[in-house]
């Protein structure tokens, strides 16, 4: 009930903002700025930079209020903007973000929500696919075979073992190693998401 009432309230606020209602914009700022600032400072220790990012988000929101069309609650939309700006901050300052931690620390309430910016999702999907292709190409031949059979051909561990004439235990170990390598690729990459 609370979520649906928040969604309705955000919808009213957004409609008012699109009609240039500064009071509604101030309500959104008051409702979400502290929470957003806390999320940004979890990822950037420089509080001044975090404050700049926060101000940029709300400035951009106001300047583009006629173009933006958030669906549902406004916070997931703002959160998507924040994560994009955090990652851009790392790229601009030639710092390496801990991408794995950024994804690991996504609040459960935001995982898989359709309200996140479509552009945010699409950009990250493309970047992750590129990283995955690079990681796959660096696997030894046998691991690439296991990966292809398991994740592209959707075969069971027993089927893979039979086809490659090896034990299911060996296939399972190779899958664990593949997973470790993918996580390592995410942790050590300088490939920045925008």
Q: What is the CATH number of domain 2-116?
A: 1.10.1740.10
The pLDDT confidence band at residue 149, using thresholds 50, 70 and 90, is very high
Domain chopping of the chain, boundaries: 2-116, 131-188
Of 130 and 160, more confident: 160
DSSP 32-44: HHHHHHHHHHHH-
| pTM exceeding the 0.75 threshold for the entire prediction | no
Categorize the per-residue pLDDT at 6 as very low, low, confident or very high, splitting at 50, 70 and 90. low
pLDDT at 10: 80
Domains 2-116 and 131-188 share a fold: no
Q: Are 83 and 102 in contact (CB under 8 A)?
A: yes
Classify domain 131-188 by CATH architecture: Orthogonal Bundle (1.10)
What secondary structure does DSSP assign to 116-178, as a single string? S-HHHHHHHHHHHHHHHHHHHHTS-HHHHHHHIIIIIS---HHHHHHHHTS-HHHHHHHHHHH
Give the DSSP per-residue string, 20-79.
T-HHHHHHHHHHHHHHHHHHHHHH---HHHHHHHHHHHHHHHHHTTTT----S-SHHHHH
Classify burial at 114, counting beta carbons within 10 Å of its beta carbon; exposed 0-12, middle 13-18, buried 19 or more.
exposed
């Amino acid at each position: 009930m609370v979520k649906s009432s928040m969604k309705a309230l955000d919808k009213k606020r957004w409609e008012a903002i699109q009609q240039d209602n500064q009071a509604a914009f101030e309500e959104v700022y008051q409702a979400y700025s502290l929470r957003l600032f806390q999320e940004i400072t979890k990822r950037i220790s420089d509080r001044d930079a975090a404050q700049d990012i926060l101000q940029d988000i709300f400035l951009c929101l106001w300047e583009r209020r006629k173009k933006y069309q958030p669906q549902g609650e406004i916070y997931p939309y703002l959160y998507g903007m924040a994560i994009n700006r955090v990652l851009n901050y790392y790229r601009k300052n030639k710092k390496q973000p801990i991408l794995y931690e950024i994804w690991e620390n996504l609040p459960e309430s935001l995982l898989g929500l359709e309200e996140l910016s479509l552009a945010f999702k699409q950009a990250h999907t493309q970047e992750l696919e590129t990283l995955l292709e690079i990681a796959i190409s660096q696997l030894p031949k046998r691991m690439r075979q296991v990966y292809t059979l398991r994740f592209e051909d959707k075969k069971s561990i027993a089927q893979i073992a039979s086809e490659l004439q090896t034990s299911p235990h060996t296939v399972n170990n190779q899958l664990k190693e593949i997973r470790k390598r993918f996580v390592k690729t995410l942790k050590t990459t300088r490939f920045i998401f925008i």
